[in-house]
Structure 1
């Protein structure tokens, strides 16, 4: 059972509050307000507090530019006091209560953060180095499939190297931290297929879906928003196939369809929290069964629930082979893909 007030306090006191001072202040305003607390309590159990409500507010602010709350978004240097912010939020939430509750009931936090591709790609490169077969990737929790466009992006890792076409609209800069060298080849690995699976996929061609994706970008992150818009444009030119299904139910058939002369790679990023333990156990069972014919690789960028005090996710490579599984932690990564620290080698 979620402790909503604890979740709010964790956000307000954590690195996210520094990363987005406005969201930190809005979270503190929610905690002071009975009206806003009643509203945030309507967040579904599998959705993050307070980001789900904050995304709903930002989505509606984009459609209500004349409201006083809008000024807190567009003029960060003139935000006023916490009491003024709380008052503006309460007024907006009260006047848009039905719309907010509808968004909380029908939308989910599907932050299709393309910056995370900068963390996933070194993992894809490592898998290809081991198998030397083109990658057939399946993304769990694909949302609009923006991360599935990873072969079309340009990657800049500073002194560690660059990958992809410099003419790409989507250019990712990922800082390499730590004492170990990030092992990069001279080019991106070849791929054979890009498939997604999501219980509620989004379509970049749908203006409402695209606006929801934009609402999930934090207010002080114009670079992320620009990159998102470029990714939407890039993926719209060649929309990926996304199967609408729960992952355990759809994975088996997708894996069976993949050509034998490829490497099967399942990947996901910041998706574990949206499903219960039983769902991920069933996914493991599907992958273990599929591995009896040939290996399946799984690349996950997720927070480690077993380590308290860890506020950034880890990139983990799991190899399913002959009905068994081995795991290796490859890197720690900033949750939006801003930096990577390689941990092996």
Structure 2
């Protein structure tokens, strides 16, 4: 057994994949639910994952890489065949790619909060991937009891989102006069391989979500948001300095700080946010910034959206629901 694939490592990975099946995939992707349960009980799959660096073992990364290389095996035997015969190619993808879905559907949760802020707004997103979430003012939204048409007309996606009665739903898009993103390795939307990777990160069984991603990519190709390569723990201050002084600066992130494993680095990021004259929108799992969730009962599979450290709403990880507090 190679270093990194110890019995303790495999046991922890099995628990992680079972948790993914039960909390994240169940009810959203039958195929990913089956895959995750199979991986949790497969010595072969756990050994494969154990040979990868610890930050490259997450289910979304593994399953997207396997799909990119081997398609959509529908049985456990077919899954094992792909992993057996294409393990090196799958591992190569997992070592070089990142989980950069940057699901644009999250804008259905972010926009009601952005619309409540005094504008005009200067928007910075950390962990921006290709910058699709930097364009919330160019999409349409269907919140059930309210609808907001996309300003760019036909072709832009309309994101559905279930909302509770407390959610304040805007009647117009916020005014965003400047925007920029920061990402470790920004995908190029003109590169077929980068776009194929973004599509592979969309869960199977979610064809509507894939169609909306493709529409968002088409919008972003017409209105390319600037995304610079950099590390949020080192390079954010330089980007903050570029924001126009006559706009209200907003820094936001969704499912990004969870990948900053060093708690001290997370704390440094939070201190930076609180030390500047800006609004900070965090949309992360509640354990990422525990102080945001004090006094709240966590909801399984939900993110906690906070403004300037104060909890605002529980949100679906892909923007599918918004429960305002």
- TM-score when scaled to structure 2? 0.88
**Structure 1 portions without partners, runs of 5+:** 63-69, 73-84, 319-326
Residues 106-127 of structure 1 show CA distances to partners (whole Å, capped at 9, x for unaligned) of 1111122111000000110122
Q: Give the C-alpha shift of residue 139 in structure 1.
A: 0.4
Q: Give the C-alpha shift of residue 55 in structure 1.
A: 0.8
SS in 1 for 2:18: helix
Of 101, 105, 114, which residue of structure 2 is paired with 1:111?
101
Q: Give the C-alpha shift of residue 172 in structure 1.
A: 0.9
Residues 40-61 of structure 1 show CA distances to partners (whole Å, capped at 9, x for unaligned) of 2245423563221111111113
SS in 2 for 1:247: coil
SS in 2 for 1:246: coil
CA RMSD of aligned residues (A): 2.0
Q: Which residue of 2 aligns with 1:322?
A: none
Q: Which residue of 2 aligns with 1:10?
A: 19
- TM-score when scaled to structure 1? 0.83
8 Å CA contact 2:187, 2:194 repeated in 1: yes
Residue 307 of structure 2 corresponds to residue 317 of structure 1: yes
Q: Output the CA distance in 2 between the equivalents of 1:332 and 1:20.
A: 21
Q: Which moved more, 1:164-173 or 1:193-202?
A: 164-173
Q: Which residue of 1 aligns with 2:5?
A: none
Q: Output the CA distance in 1 between the equivalents of 2:46 and 2:115.
A: 45
Q: Output the CA distance in 1 between the equivalents of 2:41 and 2:95.
A: 24
Q: Which residue of 2 aligns with 1:86?
A: 76
Q: Give the C-alpha shift of residue 283 in structure 1.
A: 1.9
Q: Which moved more, 1:2-11 or 1:258-267?
A: 2-11
Q: Output the CA distance in 2 between the equivalents of 1:9 and 1:273.
A: 19
Q: Give the C-alpha shift of residue 272 in structure 1.
A: 1.8
8 Å CA contact 2:105, 2:159 repeated in 1: yes
SS in 2 for 1:200: coil
Residue 162 of structure 2 corresponds to residue 170 of structure 1: no
**Structure 2 portions without partners, runs of 5+:** 1-7, 291-296
Q: Which residue of 1 aligns with 2:294?
A: none
Q: Which residue of 2 aligns with 1:79?
A: none
8 Å CA contact 1:124, 1:189 repeated in 2: yes
Q: Which residue of 2 aligns with 1:137?
A: 123
In structure 2, do the counterparts of structure 1 residues 71 and 42 end up closer, same or farther at CA, with 3 Å as the change threshold?
closer
